[in-house]
Amino acid sequence: MAKFFLAFSLALAAQDFDLLIVNGRIVDGTGNASYLADVGVKDGKIAAMGRLGGRTARRTIDAKNLIVAPGFIDIHNHSDVTVLTDGNAQSMIRQGVTTMIFGEGESAAPSQGFARFTDYWTRLRSSGVAPNIGSYVGSSQIWTRVRGPKAGPPTAAELVQIRALVKQAMEDGALGVSSSLSGPPGAWIDTDTLVAMCEEASKFNGIYSTHMRTEGNGVFKAVQEAIEIGRRANVPVDVIHIKIADHKLWGKMPELIGLIATARANGQEVEAHVYPYRAGQNNLSSIIPPWAHEGGRAKLIENIKNPALKDRLRNEILNGIPGSDWYNHYTATGSWEGMLLASLSNPAYKKYNGRHMNEVIREIGGDPVDVLFKVLIDNAGSVPAVYFHHNEDDMRYAMRQPFVSIGSDGTAVATEGLLAQNHPHPRFYGTFPRVLGRYVREDKVITMEEAIRKMTSANASKIRVYDRGLLRPGFPADITVFDPKTVIDHATYDKPHRYATGIQYVAVNGSIVLDAGKHTGARPGTVITRGATPGMAAR
């Protein structure tokens, strides 16, 4: 018996590959035309590509009539916490995502839970995670760590601390600085401080990824600020989910894209990404003016309870603040009907999960602003909400631009268990298959080759990670195999907890995580860090 097992082990060891994918149509991530070829994987890396007939493998997948692509890289993902709850990242893996990039205004570190990114990386490695993980350091995270919940500008001493924390994060492997400036605390961070943060990231070849101050009435000015920050700090800029989220400005996307194109023509590295939906997600509290948020959530509740502030708050919520850059989600959306409540923490309000705000106002009764205040007060000042505020044609125009990639702005969740409790945006489940199914196959907005480039190498190059995002011998074997005739999303705003279909196989670092559409439970993901030494990668 011992001889049998020895012979069996030797036979396995003698195989040419650990995994062999045959008969597939290769879309390699470059944007070049597809071609028929096989892919051999050994020791977690792509070992060979081409006609590999006669070669042996421990596992062979017949990909006839399927597309074999690099694993999708989600350049904008919010799974920092959920992957600690469930490292399987079900809703993302089932979209073909093999790498998720975290951090916007907030990031896992530096925080009360993780003083440094090295602590967060250690936690991820100990619990295991299916996809690869990378992260920016959030500008709001740095800001509140140093100044707390208050507006700026920082003192000279505070600015030294801010710079030091960004430097530490970059030393720990952060990919750059990210910002979320449309509401507090990000709205309190001035341009000069953002430049200072990005100057530290520049020393490590990092980038600046920004959710701008407004995507509404002041969106052109906001893009100009992002470009200015990149120019002054000498860092590449990636505009997070570029959109025009004010119905009064719909149709002006060509002009907005023109600002970026002009900066690029002048030698700046400025890019953007989109998600394939016409609704975004923020918090119901974003309707409250920024000044009322100073002091944190407890102070916000105190302010909206204060009768002396009621008239001012109502006027600014319904009409905006003249001369202000504040991104007022109510005036941008244009109605209470354009808001869908995603998750309410108060058990008495759970019945309103997935309901539009106008319905909630009608059922509770009374003045709409008073109902808004009540909902926020009864839910500890925070209610994630979906806002229907931008235009399909604008989004399609942006998607067609060569410097605009794809990112979900979603979170890894699941259809069962703890991560199925809330009512998320459908992008959590559907972003990448939706692009492939609706915008490539059905509507032909972009080609298959270009869509996959926007999901893979375009995103890898943004974060200066050059050994992923392409199918190349020697690269880590992050591979997604899907059926181009059937791939599609199923999540809707009313019923978001639905997995996409058509993604057949997903390998992360050579290990199969999705096998014939079923999650294997494997967690082979690694941490993707910049890993540069100060000065060595400076621009």
> Could you write out the DSSP letters of every residue in 144-213?
HHHH-S---PPPHHHHHHHHHHHHHHHHTT--EEEEE-SSTTGGG--HHHHHHHHHHHHTTT-EEEEE-S
pLDDT over 90 at 217, yes or no: no
Nearest-angstrom CA–CA distance, 263 and 78: 29
* Whether 379 and 437 share a structural domain: no
Any residues with CB less than 8 A from the CB of 463 and at least 6 apart, and which?
Answer: 75, 101, 134, 175, 176, 207, 528
* Whether 130 and 214 share a structural domain: yes
* Whether 134 and 269 share a structural domain: yes
* Whether 375 and 422 share a structural domain: no
Domain-terminating residue out of 339, 360, 387: 387
Q: Give the model's pLDDT for residue 2.
A: 56
Q: Give the model's pLDDT for residue 342.
A: 85
Q: What is the pLDDT of residues 52-73, one digit of tens each?
A: 999 999 999 999 999 999 999 9
Q: Say if 261 falls within a structural domain.
A: yes
Q: Say if 344 falls within a structural domain.
A: yes
Domain-terminating residue out of 365, 387, 409: 387
* Whether 197 and 297 share a structural domain: no
Q: Which domain holds residue 365?
A: 286-387
Tokens found for residue 280? 């975004």
Residue 184 maps to which CATH number?
A: 3.20.20.140
Q: Say if 42 falls within a structural domain.
A: no
Tokens found for residue 37? 């070829």
Q: Say if 337 falls within a structural domain.
A: yes
Q: Say if 494 falls within a structural domain.
A: no
* Whether 195 and 344 share a structural domain: no
388, 279 Cβ separation under 8 angstroms:
yes
* Whether 90 and 155 share a structural domain: yes
Domain-terminating residue out of 343, 366, 387: 387
Number of domains in the chain: 2
Average pLDDT, the chain: 93
Per the listing, tokens 């939706």 go with 434
* Whether 83 and 222 share a structural domain: yes
Q: Give the model's pLDDT for residue 420.
A: 93
Q: What is the pLDDT of residues 249-286, one digit of tens each?
A: 999 999 999 999 999 999 999 999 999 998 777 889 98
